[in-house]
């Protein structure tokens, strides 16, 4: 059984995978987006703010600290709210992660207002270049050959697998995962958005990802989160 067929059997994913298309962006101007609803994530310190349109053309955008905000007005405004720790943008939502010392009731309205006032459409995400058709990468992939690949080829294979089986589920919970490096048999990843400080990310979720990659790639691989 080929790798793509195995993935389809395990996850019920169609072979002709395409990135989900969000609704068209409301506008590229600040103040044109509206928060339709706010929903919790598995991480009690992270909430998803669902907008009325697509807010980023491709990929994701992450601000993990005020230093990351640069000249981004929305990010700077959000970090100006006491307790906000990170901002994660994908498709049609913004995930805000806060400190566990601050209650949501004290900042929820301020956060929503900052997003509606300052959010603009992002033409490109931090990892937009990674969003590519995964089929050519996996169609000729053989487990036995994985450790003979160079680092770039290994990275392409792992990113393709994460795109198919891992990232969609994390996105539904307001988070994501970034592949940092592949060093011999060690795969280093970094959680984004709601996944960043979620207790399950370093236990159950990480174990699931590692087990999936062991089955899909090689039983000797190890996954480390930072």
Are 103 and 160 contained in the same domain?
no
Are 60 and 140 contained in the same domain?
no
Q: Answer whether 114's CB lies under 8 Å from 84's CB.
A: no
Are 216 and 136 contained in the same domain?
yes
Kindly state whether residue 24 falls inside one of the protein's structural domains: no
Beta bridge partners of 38: 49
Q: Which domain holds residue 102?
A: 35-118
Instruction: Look at residue 56 and give its three-state secondary structure.
Output: strand
Kindly state whether residue 26 falls inside one of the protein's structural domains: no
Structure tokens belonging to residue 101? 């010392």
Nearest CA among 16, 30, 17 for reference residue 72: 30
Are 39 and 94 contained in the same domain?
yes
What long-range pairs does 159-164 form, CB within 8 A, spacing at least 24?
A: 159/130, 159/134, 160/134, 161/7, 161/134, 161/212, 161/213, 161/216, 161/217, 163/17, 163/131, 163/134, 164/7, 164/11, 164/13, 164/17, 164/134
Domain count, the chain: 2
Q: 118-155: b or e for each residue (b if 16 or more CB lie within 10 Å)?
A: bbbbbeebbbbebbeebeebbeebeeeebeeeeeeebb
Supply the CATH number for residue 72's domain. Answer: 3.30.1370.70
Segment holding 55, helix H or strand E: none
Distance CA 125, CA 61 (A): 5
In the chain, the largest separation of any two C-alpha atoms, in whole Å, equals 54
pLDDT at 199: 56
pTM of the model: 0.60
Kindly state whether residue 25 falls inside one of the protein's structural domains: no
- The tens place of each residue's pLDDT in the chain, 226 residues long, gives 555 555 555 445 444 444 444 444 455 566 789 999 998 888 889 999 999 999 999 888 999 999 999 999 999 999 999 999 999 998 899 999 999 999 999 999 999 999 999 999 999 888 654 444 545 778 778 888 888 988 888 999 999 888 888 887 787 677 788 899 998 889 999 888 766 665 555 556 788 889 989 988 989 999 998 7
pLDDT at 3: 56
Kindly state whether residue 126 falls inside one of the protein's structural domains: no
Are 114 and 140 contained in the same domain?
no
Are 113 and 137 contained in the same domain?
no
| Domain end call among 83, 118, 153 | 118
Are 43 and 67 contained in the same domain?
yes
């Amino acid at each position: 059984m080929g790798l793509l067929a195995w993935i389809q059997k395990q996850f019920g994913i169609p072979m002709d995978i395409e990135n989900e298309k969000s609704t068209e962006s409301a506008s590229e101007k600040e103040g044109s987006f509206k928060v339709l609803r706010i929903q919790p994530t598995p991480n009690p310190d992270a909430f998803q703010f669902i907008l009325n349109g697509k807010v980023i053309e491709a990929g994701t955008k992450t601000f993990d600290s005020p230093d990351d905000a640069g000249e981004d007005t929305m990010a700077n405004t959000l970090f100006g709210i006491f307790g906000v720790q990170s901002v994660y943008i994908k498709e049609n939502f913004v995930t805000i992660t806060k400190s566990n010392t601050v209650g949501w009731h004290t900042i929820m309205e301020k956060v929503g207002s900052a997003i509606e006032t300052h959010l603009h459409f992002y033409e490109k995400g931090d990892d937009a270049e990674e969003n590519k058709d995964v089929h050519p990468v996996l169609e000729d992939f053989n487990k036995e050959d994985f450790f003979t690949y160079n680092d770039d080829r290994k990275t392409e294979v792992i990113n393709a697998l994460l795109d198919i089986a891992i990232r969609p589920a994390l996105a539904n919970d307001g988070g994501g995962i970034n592949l940092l490096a592949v060093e011999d048999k060690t795969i280093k990843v970094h959680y984004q958005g709601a996944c960043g400080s979620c207790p399950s990310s370093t236990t159950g979720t990480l174990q699931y990802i590692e087990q999936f990659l062991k089955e899909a790639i090689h039983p000797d691989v190890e996954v480390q989160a930072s």
